[in-house]
Amino acid sequence: MKQLSPSLPVWSLSLGCPKNRVDSEHVLGSLGLPVRSVEHPGRARLVFINTCGFIEPAVRESVRNVLEMIERLRPLKRRPLLAVAGCMVGRYGATELAAELPEVDIWLPTDSMAQWPALLGRALGLREAPAPGRLLSTGPSYAWLKIGEGCRHACAFCTIPSIRGGLRSTPAEALRDEARTLLAQGVRELVLVAQDSSAWGSDFQPPQDLRELLDSLLPLDGLAWLRLLYLYPTGVTPELLRFIREAGRPLLPYLDIPLQHAHPDVLSRMGRPFARDPRRVLDLVREHLPGAALRTTFIVGYPGETEAQFEQLCRFVEEARFQHLGVFAYQPEDGTPAAALPDQLPEEVKERRRTTLMELQAGISEDWLAGQEGQRLEVLVDAPHPEWPGLHTGRVWFQAPEVDGLTYVSGPGVRPGALVEADIVEHATYDLTALA
């Protein structure tokens, strides 16, 4: 009788951005034993929480989840190993956090990420040596491909360089190998992410260009969609846009360009070293890719932002007609230059401006999606709907996973991981309904 390989029961939670999700998938896939996910932490040998520390609300969410887990584990006679990793640990330090939360068994800061599997293996008493791997947690339709670590910019409001360090691009060969492995598991869409994806390769000697990485990924068997997220405005060059246009599928004409604001004085105080008029970036995109879908993010309530400057931002959003837009109310983060600026705004002003801008975008989104009714589009199916049998959630090409709206789809051939043609029959503010 064949002896089954032992497995490691794990309960895991990854907070924050997709880059954190990738880090979690790598560490859990590299422990030397097959990992078996369990729904209740009491049945696990390892409870792994990967935290976010980018902004204060994310820190509070991370702390809340750790405290809740400590309380859930407290009555157990046999406690699993509680490991807390990620940006919150990198930001505040394991020593300081351990003094506050001694119930946590092991703290894993970002600067020791390469050692996480070995550190966990020793803490768990595993005999198996760690081996590079990845435990995919996004289902069969898509996966994130993290192409670099850290950031080369010095935006006045951002904590990332102090937490994650400077830019360190992952070599194209390693990324191509990882992409092949993901596609071999049936993944149809790869989503490239980094703190600034457009900077990929600029730290190599000699420097390389993002187009070289894309060239190496596009021919891979099984790749249906390739999507770019987090492009810094200065990285959106005519050369890159022409490359996207000429490459065609599977490279999607979908660009995520975090602009952060539209007023030159606010951008200057933010330390955003690009063209003072962000319209130039949009004009460049629409000149080369007139049918592109655009996503951006803005920060409102930045220190010194006047009502007139906020109104200019609203006019810009109304004119630009972004398909997708996220809005953050500014948070003063310890250690950042922006936290020391004068004219910090009241929370109620920041929240009012965030609500106003999101309401404006809601109307723009609904108008855009109304124009999609009657179209026949490909839908990449992600998962069964948790409440309605036969209905699935999925996305059309201009909907990125986890950050944009959904397409609800039903009909023949609709199953997770399938790419089906479907008629768009209904729209809401951010979502579509389709019949295959």
Backbone angles phi, psi at 416, to 5 degrees: -55, 130
What is the distance of C-alpha 112 from the center of its chain?
21
Task: Please report which confidence band the pLDDT of residue 127 belongs to, taking 50, 70 and 90 as the band edges.
Answer: confident
For residue 348, give every residue at least 6 positions away whose Cβ sits within 8 Å of its Cβ, in sequence order, or none. none
Q: Are strands 392-395 and 376-384 parallel, antiparallel or unpaired?
A: antiparallel
Query: Quick one: pLDDT at residue 154?
Result: 87
d(CA 187, CA 431): 23
Q: Can you tell me the mean pLDDT for 283-298?
A: 96
Residue 43 has pLDDT above 50, yes or no: yes
pLDDT of residue 273: 67
pLDDT at 6: 79
For the annotated binding site for [4Fe-4S] cluster, the residues are 17, 52, 87, 151, 155, 158
Closest by Cα among 284, 297, 205, 193 to 244: 284
Cβ pair 219, 253 in contact under 8 A: no
Tracing tokens 């983060």 back to the chain, one arrives at 333
Q: What's the chain's length in residues?
A: 436
Look at residue 275 and tell me whether its pLDDT is greater than 80. no
Measure the CA–CA gap between 235 and 215, rounded to whole angstroms: 17
Q: For 288, phi and psi rounded to 5 degrees? A: -95, -30
Comparing CA positions, the residue from 18, 272, 30 lying closest to residue 135 is: 30
Strands 293-300 and 324-329: what pairing? parallel
CB burial string 121-140: b at 16+ within 10 A, e below: beebebeeebeebbbbbbeb
Which domains are delineated in the chain?
A: 8-124 (3.40.50.12160), 142-370 (3.80.30.20), 376-435 (2.40.50.140)
For residue 235, give the 3-state DSSP assignment: helix
| Predicted confidence band of residue 54 (pLDDT cuts 50, 70, 90) | confident
- Cβ count within 10 A of residue 226: 22
Q: How far apart, in whole angstroms, are the C-alpha atoms of residue 347 and residue 331?
A: 9
Q: What is the pLDDT of residue 315?
A: 97
Task: Provide the token pair at 210.
Answer: 């993002």
In sequence order, the 6+-apart residues with CB closer than 8 A to the CB of 275 are: 233, 234, 281
Point out the annotated binding site. Answer: 17, 52, 87, 151, 155, 158
CA 335 to chain centroid, in Å, comes to: 24
* CA atoms of 115 and 118, how far apart (whole Å): 5
Work out the average pLDDT over 38-66: 94
- Give the CA-trace dihedral at 259, 260, 262, 266, to 10 degrees: -140
* pLDDT of 1 higher than 60: no
| SS3 state of residue 352 | helix
Query: Under a CB-based contact definition with an 8 Å cutoff, are residues 11 and 40 in contact?
Result: yes
d(CA 92, CA 89): 5
pTM, entire model: 0.93
At residue 151, the 3 state secondary structure works out as coil
What mean pLDDT do residues 262-272 have?
93
pLDDT digits (tens, 9 = 90+) for 205-230: 999 999 999 999 999 999 999 999 99
Q: Is the pLDDT of residue 291 over 60?
A: yes
Give the rounded percent of residues in the chain with a pLDDT score beyond 90. 87
Average pLDDT of every residue of the chain: 94
